[in-house]
Structure 1
Amino acid sequence: MAKTLMPREGVSLAAQAHKTWNDVEVDPITLKVIGGSLNSMAKEMAQVLYRMAYSSLIRESEDLGAGIFDVNGRELCESDSTPMHCGSIPAYIRGINRRLAGTYKPGDVILHNHPYHGAAHSPDYGVVIPIFWEGEHIGFAGCTGHVSDIGGNFPGLCMDVVDVWAEGKLMDSMKIYDGGVRNDMLIQHILDNVRTPEQNRGDLEALIACSRIGEKRFTELLEKYGLDTVMSASEAWMDYSEHMLRERIRALPNGSYEAPVGYLDDDGKNRGVPVKVAVRVQVEDEDVLIDLTGSNDQVPTAFNVPFEGSVLPVAVSAIRTILLDEYVTEEFVPQNDGCFRPVRAYAPEGTIFNPDFPASCFARFSQVNRIFDSINLALAPVLPDHAVAGSSAALCAIAYSGVAEDGESYWVYIEINEGSYGARNGKDGMDAVDALMANTRNNPIEELELNHAMRAERYELRDESPAPGQWRGGIGSVRTWLMQTDTFLGSEADNRNDPPAGVLGGADGVSGAFVRNAGRDDEEILFSKVTQEMVREGETLEIRMPSGGGFGDPFEREPQAVLMDVWDEYLSAEEARRDYGVVVNTSDWTVDVEGTRALRSARAAS
């Protein structure tokens, strides 16, 4: 049965575990040194993974996560990469423990990707290595990364699939090394069932190397300071992060805060039928519940979300990001298990955020981004200095593929297109950047054109003006590909038919679009979610990403800032007058101070 309520157990898990170490007092200097070491080793793990990986999504976009965890999966440290990857690894470990606890040996390497046993979704391979110290199992080094293909009914990304098995090859707690002995036949079986065996082999070796360097670095730390000191310091850091987050939660008024109900375009099959997202944030003293009651029933496609591996991490990441924003928080607060303890998530069984097995849940990122966006909007009235206006919140993952020249495999390229952030109090929204839970980088055009039969004809900010506000919304990107060979297209994006919301008087943003052969006689608007679409040689595909909402009354924006937007061609002089009440002298491109004052005064009087 799917679990409907999954708080991170926090300290209670540690109490249940067989402790092989003793609590000791750690002086402040040693505590900071060990904390810095944990932070550094997680970053080094991620560096190893993305530098070694073969697939562009890990190598270029850094769609990965890495860290060190205790025997129960509590996170001691994580890399500065994709929050969804890092936040899901504890669930991977809990899923692996359910089958392998008590069987671990030095030299084991476990591969896992089962979405109903902790994985974020099946394309995210997780590799976990148990860490031993003086013969005792004391933790794990683990990492995840999105591989190019896992088999299934369509190359790279799939939407219209019947169940979880149709997604591709499922690995449930599989020891690919058992006590240091490599299972070559099992690994070969895995690679024989994917379309990109060379890329997957390279990614798998990179994932193993990443976890091994984590195991090595953590063991070195134990050799220097001893198990008692290192684990006591780790507990102190987790308690500190928990304390800091609970302190911020206590500053919020108790109550129930609901975001406006949102709607995703469709489920990838039932066209014209929007998918409902309902989010409520319940604040009670120093605890937060993210309640998804009222969200859509699960759908018959891959557009469902694994609860433990995806919903819970996004709930925690949203609360931690909003309340412990580094921009407004002077103290350094590490991301670890302590941040999970005050936050719970609830989703009724049989809904898109807690599907019943064996429903497919391959494509889940647009939905979880809407959870994050909705949590932010729900809290905006009580956190005007922290929240942002609506963001693109629609990770645009597109898979392009075709049969390779050898005729025995496929080339698969998965790209992440950049949306934008909404504005915030005191800051304009960031343009053309992956928002919220993604944190992935864009892929260089040169690398793509070198390796694939595609040519970029356009890659820049959208033409539409940013959403007006005292601080304007961010602008999404627009990209146009010319296909130089017949190319399969798979997409799990969302165009935001309900555009990103403005906040406190700011205007809404702009929706996105997929357009085949834009500007030609045979122009065609495509759905945002497609499976087995073909873009023929000589055809183009234009991807327009959503632009974020504005924050605050546009007529309160500094006239000089409006003028600079006109100079930068974000706005026309007419838009400056209409949307901001700023009169621009087009003869010398300066602000007409008196005209602006009169226009704004008239608007205030009316």
Structure 2
Amino acid sequence: MTALDPAGVSLAGVAPRNFTTVDVDPITLRVIGGALNSIAKEMAQILYRMAYSSLIRESEDLGAGIFDANGRELCESDSTPMHCGSIPAYIRGIDRKLAGTYRPGDVILHNHPYHGAAHSPDYGIMIPIFFGGVHIGFAGCTGHVSDIGGNFPGLCMDVVDVWAEGKLMDSMKIYDAGVRNEALIQHILDNVRTPEQNAGDLEALIACSRLGEKRFLELLDRYGLDVVMSAADKWMDYSEDMLRRKIREIPDGEYVAPESYLDDDGKNRDVPLKVSVRVKVEDDDVVVDLTGSHGQVPTAFNVPFEGSVLPTVASAVRTLLLDEALTEEFVPQNDGCFRPAKAYAPEGTLFNPDFPASCFARFSQINRIFDSINLALSDVLPDRAVAGSSAALCAIAYSGLAEDGQSYWVYIEINEGSYGGRNGKDGMDCVDSLMANTRNNPIEELELNHAMIAERYELRDEPPAPGRYRGGIGSVRKWKMLTDTFIGSEADNRNDPPKGLEGGHAGRAGSFTRNAGTDREEPLHSKVTQEKCAAGDTLEIKLPSGGGYGDPFERDAATVLEDVLDDFVSVDDARTHYGVEIDLAASAVDEAATARLRSAR
């Protein structure tokens, strides 16, 4: 029987231990821990400052860190959890072909979604680190590039299989012992629509990993291999122990999330996709079981199990139980946080597709896993769980033929949703949520470089979901096209709106509308493949608003007044949903009328 690690990944063939464990005093332990943390952050800084594409440079859709020879994460950057959490799977995928062949100066490019990659647009660069002639680890990073070829520019939905997604690179040495493979790199760039952007992003990814290699070797030179790796082991064991302590506080049992449904698969309209999540807690282990979720689909809307599902489960468990705002002790994010969390999804389903099904567009699904884990545990974690969040990454690719007629311009933006309310706090407005953690793309970025004008970018007009702590408000963005433009989207409008908790109301669904407010107004599906907007057309994107937490009639009346004065809710909303009577002329709460309203209910 093949041994399995806590994430359910085979450990057969791992590299042998390459250092001697020694005692590390507490001060040195802290210093090395801080150094590891700084290395990962500096790696991310150089990547997003050097990158050409706005998705990496502005949205910071990236991850970086240092890993040991077995792919265990020693440290990660403060960026997208999805990118950081998937890098160990990239290393396992690369190891299956290259283990035993690494040499100093190697640079490996990888993006195969059935061999560890989060999905094919996420280029991964891994550099094996050698110390004293021995392979002791990797410096690695990932970033979402603008285009990888394939059927459609930027983002694709209605594609037949994984090869149609674009150029697959399975463990390719683009530097072999320091020698750059110009022909291979040129071949890669010749097969994408944005060669200049991809070339710049590739160099940024290489620079990021080289910096990580350099900084880690400096740390080894100063303290020695045995001390550094022994300290890293201690930090990983510490993080694992802290997380397991929190898991043991949850009563053993099975916790079932409310069933939820994704809009569709991008082709078969009006066929919602079921997401079923059960969280099983036994002692200090957590297993997230996705049995009952929809089967795999014939479009790109499937999810790589190892590269996307496993990191999501680990991130959700760690985030809920070791929330930095509620945890006094510093707990670093590393391999120790992955160990207690396991996932299971039957083969041939949405969350574990059979090769060669396409799995290009997978983020709305994994955000729904995160949201569902949170809702499943809400009864036993009332001070940590949040009401339903937007939980649907809204990635849209705009594209068109460049003026030279030889290439395309491709722009990918991520629009902002919101969080649900939580016990003690309102939901956060207009932010990317859960696994994504990306920043907004400034409107100036697009207007400067492409033929589009932003007519609107702000909070939605509709009031937030009522609750003792209200839900967050999603964003609304409206673009006017100055030239014929193609649009590809992998979003999810949340046709079943985010759930309220403890008496809070449900949130609001999102929408895509072409030419909103005109006689040519036309609703669009959340997932589209090469939808055309003609010059002069507009596209309005509304992101879901999160659910409310707690009974709205228990919301502080003065806070309801602030919401009215901020134009978040109307006087009628305050009366109907919160039982608060507002004297708008006096900008005050009518205390007597409010008491009557609330007591009458």
TM-score interval, normalised by the smaller of the two chains: over 0.9
Q: CA deviation at 1:334?
A: 0.6
| 2:173 is equivalent to residue 162 of structure 1 | no
Deviation readout 1:498-544 (Å, 9 max, x if unpaired): 00000010000000000000000010000000001101000000000
Counterpart amino acid of residue 138 in structure 1: I
Maintained 8 Å contact 1:420/1:547: yes
**Residues 1:572 and 2:570 are matched in the alignment:** yes
Q: In the alignment, which of 13, 20, 23 is matched to residue 21 of structure 2?
A: 23
How far is 1:586 from its partner?
2.5
Partner of 2:114: helix, strand, or coil? helix
1:304 aligned to 302, 305, 318, which one? 302
Quick one: which of 73, 79, 82 aligns to 1:81?
79
Match of 2:406 among 372, 396, 408: 408
Amino acid in structure 2 at the alignment position of 1:516 = R
Report what 1:95 is aligned to: 93
Distance in 2 (alpha carbons) for counterparts of 1:553 and 1:491: 36
The residue identity in structure 2 corresponding to 1:127 is I
Is 1:208 aligned to 2:233, yes or no?
Answer: no
Alignment equivalent of 1:137, drawn from 131, 135, 138: 135
State the Cα distance separating 1:311 from its structure 2 match.
0.1
SS in 1 for 2:395: strand
Check the 8 A contact 1:6/1:345 in 2, yes or no: no
Please state how far the C-alpha of 1:8 moved relative to its aligned partner.
4.0
CA distance in 2, matches of 1:464, 1:108: 54
Q: Deviations over 1:73-102 (max 9, x none)?
A: 100000000000000000000000000000
Matches of 1:35 and 1:259 in 2, distance apart? 37
Cα deviation, 1:7-55, whole Å, max 9, x if unaligned, reads: 5469996996312210000000000000000000000000000000000
* Counterpart residue number, 1:553: 551
The 1:7/1:271 distance shift into structure 2, 3 A limit, reads farther
**Cα gap change, 1:230 to 1:151, in 2 (>3 Å):** same
Task: Give the whole-Å Cα distance in 1 for the aligned partners of 2:551 and 2:5.
Answer: 39
Is the 1:255–1:284 contact (alpha carbons within 8 Å) kept by the matching residues of 2? yes
Query: How much has 1:6 moved relative to structure 2?
Result: 7.3
Show the counterpart of 1:527: 525
| Equivalent residue, structure 1, for 2:271 | 273
- Residue type of the alignment partner of 1:161: V
Kept in 2: contact 1:108–1:175 (CA 8 A)? yes
Calculate percent identity across the aligned residue pairs.
78
Letter in structure 1 aligned against 2:500: G
Partner-residue secondary structure (3-state), 1:256:
strand
Give the distance between the partners of 2:594 and 2:181, measured in 1 at CA. 74
Q: Distance in 2 between matches of 1:405 and 1:235?
A: 54
Matched residue SS, 1:198: helix
Q: How far off is 1:585 after superposition?
A: 1.3
Kept in 2: contact 1:176–1:182 (CA 8 A):
yes
Alpha-carbon shift at residue 223 of structure 1 (Å): 0.2
- 8 Å contact kept, 1:96–1:112: yes
Give, in whole Å, the separation in 1 of the partners of 2:400 and 2:376.
43
Q: Are 1:496 and 2:488 matched, yes or no?
A: no
- What residue is the counterpart of 1:58 in the other structure? 56
Q: CA deviation at 1:72?
A: 1.0
- Aligned match of 1:104: 102
Alpha-carbon distance between aligned partners in 2 of 1:225 and 1:286, rounded to the nearest angstrom: 34
Q: Which amino acid aligns with 2:598?
A: R
**In structure 1, what residue type is equivalent to 2:17?**
K
Mapping 1:439-458, distance limit 5 Å: 439-458=437-456
Q: 1:323 aligns with which of 321, 324, 327?
A: 321
Q: Give yes or no for contact 2:490–2:526 (8 Å, CA) kept in 1.
A: yes
Report deviation, 1:437: 0.4
2:516 corresponds to: 518
Q: Render the CA deviation track for 1:127-184: whole Å, top value 9, x for unaligned.
A: 0000000000000000000000000000000000000000000000000000000000
- Per-residue deviation at 1:405? 1.2
| Secondary structure class of the residue paired with 2:299 | coil
Q: Is the 8 A contact 2:193 2:408 kept in 1?
A: yes
State whether residues 562 and 576 of structure 1, in contact with CA within 8 Å, keep that contact through their aligned partners in structure 2: yes
Unpaired segments ≥5 residues, structure 2: none
Q: Which moved more, 1:539-548 or 1:11-20?
A: 11-20
In the other structure, the counterpart of 1:260 is 258
Deviation at 1:5, TM superposition (A): 12
* Counterparts of 2:395 and 2:241, CA distance in 1: 36
| Correspondence for 2:463 | 465
**Counterpart residue number, 2:194:** 196
Does the 8 A contact of 2:7 with 2:342 survive in 1? Answer: no
| Count of residues in correspondence between the two structures | 600
Distance 1:5 1:293 in 2: 23
The answer to whether the Cα contact below 8 Å between 2:3 and 2:11 also exists between their aligned partners in 1 is no
8 Å CA contact retained: 1:5, 1:347: no
Equivalent AA in structure 2 for residue 263 of structure 1: Y
* Structure-2 separation of matches of 1:441 and 1:20: 39
1:6/1:312 contact within 8 Å kept: no
Relative to structure 1, is the Cα distance of residues 255 and 10 closer, same or farther in structure 2, using a 3 angstrom cutoff?
A: closer
Aligned 8 A contact 1:10 1:74 in 2: no
TM-score normalized with structure 1 length: 0.98
For 2:34 and 2:114, how far apart are their aligned partners in 1?
A: 34
Unpaired segments ≥5 residues, structure 1: none
One-letter code of the match for 1:206? Answer: A
Are residues 399 and 528 of structure 1, via their aligned partners in 2, closer, same or farther at CA, if it must alter by over 3 Å? Answer: same
2:476 match: secondary structure: strand
Tell me, yes or no, if the aligned pair for 1:422 and 1:474 is still in contact at 8 Å.
yes
Tell me, in whole angstroms, the C-alpha distance in 2 between the residues paired with 1:101 and 1:93.
10
C-alpha contact 1:302 1:361 (8 A) present in aligned 2: yes
TM-score under structure 2 normalisation?
0.99
Could you tell me which residue of structure 1 aligns to residue 239 of structure 2?
241
Equivalent residues in 2 for 1:120-131, closer than 5 Å: 120-131=118-129
1:418 equivalent in structure 2: 416
Which residue in 1 is equivalent to 2:387?
389
* Residue 484 of structure 1, aligned match among 472, 476, 482: 482
| 2:61–2:79 Cα contact (<8 Å) kept | yes
Give yes or no for contact 1:5–1:344 (8 Å, CA) kept in 2.
no
User: Cα distance 1:388–1:559, how it changes in 2: closer, same or farther (>3 A)?
Assistant: same
Query: Helix, strand or coil for the counterpart of 1:117?
Result: coil
Q: Distance in 2 between matches of 1:9 and 1:411?
A: 40
CA contact (8 A) 2:8 2:343 kept: no
Judging changes above 3 Å, is the alpha-carbon distance between structure 1 residues 15 and 27 closer, same or farther for their aligned structure 2 residues? Answer: farther
